[in-house]
Amino acid sequence: MFLVNYYICSPSGTIFTKQNTMLWLASYPRSGNTFFRNILFEVYGLESTEVHYENLSEETPNGFEVVKTHLIPKEIPFFNTETPKVYLIRDARDSIVSGAWHRKNMYDPESHWYWNLIEVTLAQGTSYFWGWSRHVMAWNDQQPLVIRFEDLIQDPIGQVERLREVMDLPEPNAQKLPSFTQLKFGRPKYGKGDNLTSDEKEQEKFTQANFRKGKAGGWKEEMPTEIHDLVWALHGETMERMGYIDDRPEWYSNMKSLKILVESRECFAPSGEKKDYMFRMLSHLLTLKRRIPFFDVDLLQGEKIIPLEGFFNIPPEADWKYEGSNIEIKKDASPSPKPPFSWVNLIRNNMPKPLYELVLKNYSKLKYSGLSNRITNWRAIHRQVNADYDYVFFPTGMPMSKGLPIHYIDAKWHEDGSRSYGYNTPSGEMGMEGIKFRGYPDGIREVAPEKRGVLEAIEVFLLCLRKANEK
């Protein structure tokens, strides 16, 4: 046990000696930790310190009974499982929205807020403190005293008083309780950025950005529907476990599995935009597959089906970044076998490229049924595909065939680089209507290649999720 001996001045002015164990005050970012620390200081006269990556050492902080951190236990060298722990938790949706604004308003003004929202939701690798779910569960495994942000803002002193379960507290001076507004527009002990700048004007700006809204349910005004679906897909299990079940999407309760098959022939092309697109999309689909319990992805290589994990050499714990088509594939992931003879292959291999692209662009207007022979190699596995997969995805497009007895999605590429999608079902009730994915705001696609890969993977997942929910 870590013992701390020091003098504390209570709000009444009485000085007394305390001997107690150090207390961890842990939380995922934007969950009320700074608000909590200011209450401890103003109402109880207790100062606190913090441990983050920047000041992490092998030694226990001295002279403070309360230690704030956003790190998870395994990242703290001196973490002791016997040390009392309090965990502040907030609805994932509010934490994520607040985190996206926190980055834009305080650290990266040029960043796109919507992209920040995606990044905080995904929290790939160890970014964003491992993400909301992994952070919550890492501390929940330590059996902490859990205090909900939603309860804290309704009854600040009542919730802080719960610390008496794990430590001694001076008597509170309720008259000194600061409101959120007073902290936002005042000079709080914690959260004003004085460790970053000594300029009072800059500290004032920092404080007002740091104490943004301080309310529960604000996500309803700001979080787009598609991100809400993504949050539930990634964090739904933990949200339910921690009691955050309000406004749960209808599809979530009914979703048992979503399995798609991705045709992968472009992965073995010599080079080009579509190959890069495939590698970007598939590598990020692998991340989603590993993080979403009900989502599964396999690859179609010619007439062979392999798990997506059997294609890339990307270990689950890797904090990897997209490197284009240079991402290493596994040695046993071989190119698709040469398909049977078809008029499409004959035309594609012998027709001048400009003419072939013109024919392909106007394919839907052609009535020459022989072009559909491209799917001949599918006939042998139709039954298996129809039974095992919700959708088959052709990322770089394929000629439509009303005779294909499976659900599939076909991507159509446009001159501006965007894609629209068509759907088919065995009965044809959904027809072949092409739709353009409208989930992203204007300008979000004009990002770096590694970010486009994330957007494309999310796009595929959400499209399949929405169509499966309509069945």
Put residue 292 in one of left, alpha, beta given phi > 0 → left and psi -120 to 50 → alpha.
beta
Cα distance between residue 317 and residue 322, in whole Å: 15
| Tally of CB atoms within 10 A around 399 | 17
Cα distance between residue 82 and residue 68, in whole Å: 17
Nearest to 92 by CA among 33, 34, 149, 154: 149
| Tally of CB atoms within 10 A around 435 | 11
- The 10 Å CB-count burial string (b at 16+, else e) for 338-354 is ebeebebeeeeeeeeee
3-state secondary structure 318-331: CCCCCECECCCECC
DSSP letters, 160-183, are HGGGGGTS--PPP-GGGPPPHHHH
Alpha carbons within 13 angstroms on the beta-carbon side of residue 420 total 9
Residue showing tokens 């996500």: 219
Give the pLDDT confidence score for residue 344 in this predicted structure.
Answer: 54
Give the pLDDT confidence score for residue 396 in this predicted structure.
Answer: 57
Is the pTM value of this prediction over 0.95?
no
Give the pLDDT confidence score for residue 1 in this predicted structure.
Answer: 30
Tokens matching residue 403: 């005779």
Nearest to 345 by CA among 323, 365, 374: 374
Give the pLDDT confidence score for residue 88 in this predicted structure.
Answer: 97
Which regions in the chain score pLDDT beneath 70? 1-21, 58-59, 193-196, 206, 302-303, 313-387, 395-450, 470-471
Cα distance between residue 372 and residue 336, in whole Å: 19
* Domains annotated on the chain, with CATH: 3-91+130-210 (3.40.50), 255-470 (no CATH)
Count Cβ atoms within 10 A of the Cβ of residue 70 and give its class: 0-12 exposed, 13-18 middle, 19 or more buried: buried
Count Cβ atoms within 10 A of the Cβ of residue 87 and give its class: 0-12 exposed, 13-18 middle, 19 or more buried: buried
Tens of pLDDT, residue by residue over 170-186, are 999 999 998 888 887 88
Tens of pLDDT, residue by residue over 255-269, are 888 888 887 877 777
Alpha-carbon separation of residue 109 from 100, 117, 131, 153, 449 (angstroms): 11, 14, 22, 28, 21
The most distant pair of C-alpha atoms in the chain lies apart, rounded to whole Å, by 93
Give the pLDDT confidence score for residue 377 in this predicted structure.
Answer: 46
Order the strands of the 145-148 sheet from edge to edge: 48-51, 66-69, 23-27, 85-89, 145-148
Give the pLDDT confidence score for residue 253 in this predicted structure.
Answer: 85
Tokens matching residue 445: 């696609």
Structural contact between residues 139 and 73, judged by C-beta atoms closer than 8 angstroms? yes
